[in-house]
Structure 1
């Protein structure tokens, strides 16, 4: 795969069940409030470590709020050597509407 593909939540869920990695590029506060269960938050601070430790051959799903910012991030990750990258159409908002039971909140910091 030389470029990323856009996929619907149903396709993303099937890939998750097969072991795909999900990364969320929204701001840290939004991620902490609610995110796709099992996803990792990715920002400019964690990006380098993520790429260094990642299995470049494992499917990677990138999500944001509505599916726009994730496309830029997905294109960047393809350029970093990831073989199979997907951008989640509709982003987290559509995911949450489709799979409300597959969302999670970050543990409280209190």
Structure 2
């Protein structure tokens, strides 16, 4: 079985430029307030649909608040058949400090 890899924001940034998929597992309200552009929010309600529609061989980066919860989510996604999974160390907080101009807010619903 493939294991996920832990990577710093700079490596995640490079993978995103190459077309990797980014999922954010923080709560919906926090995600809506600020997230990495292009990220998809994943929670217990949306994960099954995401897995059903995903390209399991495309690089997948998981991000959370500080890089802890993303490791559990990354391990789960590996178990669901994803072959190239990454957990971003430092989470969104480190991304925001590293790339302060590369965050976005969701449109109000």
DSSP-derived class of the 2:22 partner? strand
CA distance in 2, matches of 1:49, 1:40: 12
**Alpha-carbon distance in 2 for matches of 1:60, 1:2:** 13
Q: Structure 1, residues 6-52: CA drift from partner, whole Å, max 9, x if none?
A: 00000000000000000000000000000011000000000000000
CA distance in 1, matches of 2:101, 2:23: 18
How many Å separate the matches in 2 of 1:37 and 1:101? 10
Unaligned 5+ runs, structure 1: none
Offset of 1:101 from its aligned partner?
1.4
Aligned residues: 109
Do residues 69 (structure 1) and 66 (structure 2) align?
A: no
Q: Corresponding residue for 2:52? A: 52
> Does 1:24 pair with 2:17?
no
Deviation at 1:108, TM superposition (A): 1.9
Normalised TM-score (structure 1): 0.97
Structure 2 runs not aligned, ≥5 long? none
